Amino acid sequence: MEIAPMLAKAVADVPAPDSVSGGLRYEPKWDGFRGIVTVDGDDVEIGSRGAKPLTRYFPELVEAFRTQFGGREHPVVLDGEVVLRSGPSGNERLDWEALSQRIHPAASRIAKLSAETPAQFVAFDLLSADGTSLVDQPFDERRARLEAMATAFVDPLFVTRTTLDVDLAREWLRTFEGAGLDGVVAKPRTRPYEPGKRTMLKVKHHRTADVVAIGYRVHKSGSGVGSLLVGLYDDDGALRQVGGVSAFSDKRRLALVDELDPVVVRDADGRPVTGDGEKSRFSSGRDTSFVRLEPSVVLEVRYDQMEGDRFRHTVQFERWRPDRDAASCGFDQLEVPSAYDLRKVLS
């Protein structure tokens, strides 16, 4: 059963239950790889939001689904999130960096990591069971069927918690970030599963920080600024790259080249000095070289959360800050959520 995942629309705050006809059910927003899992006998497929299936990257999950769903007469289709947890007992959290390392071309590397850093699957919807498609059923009915099925789940399979209490959902938004989760999702209780449509509502953390422009990549078209690389000063005074800013208009991209020209680092012959950026396993073929900038231009950006010492996602440009001294842009300005044990969320 191939089905596109139902999507979510971003909203500023956790919505009240009466803001949607039929009410809302709230869930934590997991930070991992979205996966629609089909189990048909010994055949297990983990589909993704994109074109690349995830099945080969998580053999430990494939085996868990075979073991826990073996013997069923009809296929089962689950919607959920592939996540990976790390940290000492009592202080576990989601680990995006370790999860991203699981996407690797070498089968030997996948086998090694599946034993060293095994993943988990958190189910949050049931799309087919007992020979019946459930996509046309209201979410509350699908959830009830999922809960009944999940009584037999054992690690690494879990079912997400839910609540009808908007105040508790708002507390989750605040506290669960300390376990590595990145928000709250609100789902209409009476709506069917709508593949590809943004029926759900998601709330994520939004914060601002003043950062230093340390370089730029040329746009893929060959002209203009494609993205700005930004950094922050650590406690030892070292300027460390923390992420990138993109999504400039065509006109703005071209103008930025001229605006940033006075702070381009140049060699003895006056040519721009370039550097090689960090490559990602998701875009290994992409040109990551960049033009270096003197660390003097400050900008304010919007971000949702940190992953270690980097912004978790691409940040959004807010405004230039000519009034700020670049040396004052440090990690100490960032809000650090209180730690929260992931097992309390999974229980």
Give the catalytic positions in this structure: 29
Query: What is the tally of helices (H) and strands (E) in the chain?
Result: 7, 21
Give the relative orientation of helices 107-116 and 59-69 as an angle to the nearest 10 degrees: 60
Residue 148 sits at the vertex; the CA angle it makes with 146 and 153, to the nearest 5 degrees, is 80
Q: Residue 46 gets which letter from DSSP?
A: E
Three-state DSSP class for 263?
helix
Locus of tokens 């979205």: 34
The letter for the amino acid at 299 is: L
Cis peptide before 105 (omega within 30 of 0): no
> Which run of H or of E encompasses 14?
none
Three-state DSSP class for 129?
strand
CA–CA gap between residue 65 and residue 69 (Å, rounded): 6
Locus of tokens 């060293």: 116
The letter for the amino acid at 155 is: D
**Joined tokens for residue 114:** 């599946």
Locus of tokens 């826990």: 68
Locus of tokens 């842009």: 329
Cis peptide before 156 (omega within 30 of 0): yes
CA–CA gap between residue 195 and residue 98 (Å, rounded): 29
β-bridge mates for residue 82, sequence order: 33, 121
C-alpha distance from residue 61 to each of 37, 117, 121, 156 (Å) = 10, 12, 7, 7
Q: 151: how many CB neighbours lie within 10 A of its CB?
A: 7
